[in-house]
Chain A
Amino acid sequence: MSQVVSAFIGFTLTVMVLSYLIGDNPLFRVAVSIFVGAAAGYAASVIAHQVIWPNLVIPLATATLTERALLIIPLLLGLLLLTRISPQLARLSSPAMGYLTGVAAAVAVGGAVIGTLVPQIAAAAASFDLTDAAARGLSPLGQFTAGVVMLTATITTLIYFNFGARRAADGTVRRNGLLELAARVGQIFIAITFGVLFAGVYAAALTALIERVSAILNLFGL
């Protein structure tokens, strides 16, 4: 019974949202409001049950004295963070925000270096390892060609994102001619990449449409 009710609510909300295809209308807005409210309420309950309660409240009540003393710091920072709710007190949250920012910056730096920069640069170089390609049964020529294309794409894309430029004598700001050419090539690779990404986005959206239509058909046993 509850599943039927749940499915019917889902069907109703789906129709209300899809009514946007006709044009913006109150049904659509009501559906979106309901969704945002439900999502926020669910999120708050998850945080309360999964973050605050087990990581703060329970340890403060049951942990050893040392652990409790240590928990004072995040408790204090958390309270400071909550002051952001009030514009008058928001400035008090700076230490907590500083703490979060410091950790996030360190994690971003460490992850970028260890997880992306070093491995990806190594992989770009490894694509020219023709011995390895032959050992894996790949055509060395094909591997080399693909490596050249990928390396060109990688470098020119990076150059495209480089906004360093010098001021010419006439006052105009221009990149070095070679860099400008590379940037234009990089622009083409970026266009290709975005085309592929856009195709992926469309595939995802179309799948969502098919899933919704299928859900409605299933509700009515079709």
Chain B
Amino acid sequence: MNRPFAAAIAIAIGLIVLLGYFLPIPVLSVLRLELVQWAILLAGIAALVGIFNLISVHWQKIRRRERGSFYSAVLLLTMFVTLALGLLLGPAHSVMQSLVESVIIPVEASLMALLAVTLVYASIRLFRRRVDLMTVVFLLTLLLILFLSTPILSGNLSGLGDLARSMANTPAAGGARGILLGVALGALTTGLRVLFGMDRPYGGK
């Protein structure tokens, strides 16, 4: 019972929203906006579900005293403190702003900074893992683009740098367009399959 109902909802709502792109009918636009607004609300609630799931997973780890449960405890403690502060003070409060600036930004940025080392390491070892045309082209392009970003070809040699840059960027842009079109075609077919009820990622087939 639940699943045909869900399929009917998905198809009906999806078709209304999709038609709104192509048919400028005022009634349809109003209806579509209302439906989209509900979807926005539901998406927010879905994010909450994810957070609840995070709590559940780590709580289970602590309860079972699994390996690493200490880190789970730290995580949950931090989460509840932050959540309590956020609910009491609001996310716009200066305390919350400080929390973001002192915890979230430094840690995330530092994690990204780690990549500066690990990517060099991986690039160096790439030829040890595999040697084929793709790898050679990939690595040569990488070195060329990185080299063009250095100051060597700036200044007096900027013309040479521009030429080399355009030689690399033109095929790259073409490849990027191919990838974008491929993604769009994939989104189109996947979306249509959902709208026709052939795919039911919400728990159907």
Distance, CA A38 to CA B104, complexed state (A): 7
Q: Is B49 located at the chain interface by the 8 A CB criterion?
A: yes
Contact A14 B142 (CB under 8 A): no
Distance, CA A124 to CA B174, complexed state (A): 9
Would you call the interface of chain B mostly helix, strand, loop, or mixed?
helix
Distance, CA A95 to CA B202, complexed state (A): 8
Select which of B9, B79, B172, B202 is within 8 A of A38 by beta carbon. B79
Contact B43 A112 (CB under 8 A): no
Centre residue among A77, A109, A117, A151 by max chain B CB count within 10 A: A109
Query: A213's closest neighbor in chain B, by CB?
Result: B113
B176 CB contacts on chain A under 8 angstroms: 193
Among A29-37, A128-136, A167-175, the one that faces the other chain is A29-37
Select which of B98, B117, B168, B179 is within 8 A of A6 by beta carbon. B98
- Chain B 103-118, CB-CB to A under 8 Å as 1, else 0, gives 1111111111111110
- Chain A 38-77, CB-CB to B under 8 Å as 1, else 0, gives 1111111111111110011000000000000010011001
Select which of A39, A92, A212 is within 8 A of B106 by beta carbon. A212
Distance, CA A34 to CA B79, complexed state (A): 8
Select which of B98, B111, B149, B203 is within 8 A of A97 by beta carbon. B203
Contact A81 B138 (CB under 8 A): no
Select which of A30, A45, A92, A100 is within 8 A of B39 by beta carbon. A100
Given contacts A51-B44, A99-B38, A102-B14, whether A39 and B86 have CB atoms under 8 Å apart is no
In the assembled complex, the CB of A180 is this many whole angstroms from the nearest CB of chain B, namely 15
For the complex of A and B, the 10 pairs showing the least CB-CB separation, nearest first, are A45-B86, A153-B174, A157-B178, A195-B141, A41-B82, A37-B78, A51-B44, A193-B175, A98-B6, A102-B14
Chain A residues within CB distance 8 Å of chain B: 2-3, 5-7, 9-11, 13-14, 17-18, 20-21, 29-52, 55-56, 70, 73-74, 77-78, 81-82, 84-85, 91-114, 116-117, 120-121, 123-124, 146, 149-158, 160-161, 186-196, 198-206, 208-209, 211-212, 215
